[in-house]
Structure 1
């Protein structure tokens, strides 16, 4: 099986056409078509293709191993993480990620806004970013608040966000700035520029449908590619 064959198989596994996959990874549809036909052997976008399609990057590049050998980005994975409050030096294999927070406006009327890096950072292993094809400059973190995504993401769990992935992959989890509220939901595309916001705790938090247009539309901060799990 050639690289082109594997790219085509990965794309079909993800349920994407050439146009959508090409847009997601930042190339033209003819360029992707050439790669699938074997007319181009460029490997510059293989990590992005693997990330978008949810398959193993090593398999895509070399054919070794299994297509779904690595954990999917929406599966639960337990790690050791640490919110950095002190001055302890970073290890060589760590990075400090800026954090998103929901804070009150200075006017004191109860309104909130979502801001990034409000004086706190989180340590995160560089190897975890590389495994998921996330560029360090696109990575950030936040803390889940509330029970809407339980049992998948518990109240108070730290999460990591890829700000470079703002296109919607149906069923994946995203961080949103919605009217100044930091929200975490599974997203599903709908016609006419609308989107479904789905909570895993659907008994208490019914599904919502919103337009992606206009000043009141939810703004996608990025895809949630990791979260901590508490016992």
Structure 2
């Protein structure tokens, strides 16, 4: 049943009903009713992305709950292979999965697939492989430079702001990649490349959580 699959997927990634509700923009009661079969959510595609599961599995119960890698991912990451010049690091299926696990300091690595990142790059930047989180971007906020499907690699040890660098942040229960700029009076400017749809924001430092700095990204050409 759909209700059972929703509950199973939520518990699998250790999200509370309230956290799912916040991400979906609904009440906790709505999520409770979904899981008890009182009614079905309208936006199953969004819910599937939040829960990190296949839409087909969530809707119909067919196939594997873990979505297969799509062609939106770069070839070298889609293959998830590495050689002696590469170091395996964690690749999560979505920014929400990567952000939640690390913002909540979860120790488990559910859905953490591996792919190879250049060893020399990690050594040169003094980055510990255990503190790397990678994920594909699932919106158009960084287009046209970084289109939908771009995979980001984040160093979770680097949270201090260097103006103009990209960061993985948590803002109002949402996980985003943004350029950050320090401003006077404990303010931070958030910048997205897609200026048509995403305006720059000036927020208080206390309104965001900086989870790590982007040090690498890959785009399929």
Please classify the TM superposition score into its range, dividing by the shorter chain length.
0.5 to 0.7
Conserved? CA contact 1:158–1:227, under 8 Å: yes
Q: Which residue of 2 aligns with 1:119?
A: 111
Q: Deviations over 1:131-184 (max 9, x none)?
A: 333222322211112111112211111111111111001011111122332201
Could you list the runs of 5+ residues in structure 1 that have no partner in the other structure?
Answer: 1-78, 105-112
1:156 lines up with 2:149 in the alignment: yes
Q: Which runs of 5+ in 2 are unaligned?
A: 1-73, 103-108
Q: Within 5 A, what are the aligned runs for 1:1-150?
A: 81-83=76-78, 91-100=83-92, 101-102=94-95, 114-116=100-102, 117-123=109-115, 124-150=117-143
> What does residue 168 of structure 1 align with?
161
Give the alignment's TM-score, normalised by structure 1.
0.53
Correspondence for 2:9: none
Equivalent residue for 1:203?
A: 196
CA contact (8 A) 1:83 1:121 kept: no
TM-aligned CA deviation for residue 102 of structure 1? 4.8
Larger-gyration structure (1/2): 1
- Taking only aligned residues, the RMSD between alpha carbons, in angstroms, comes to 2.5
More helix by share: 2
- 3-state SS of paired residue (1:220): strand
Name the one with the larger strand percent: 1
Report the number of matched residues: 139
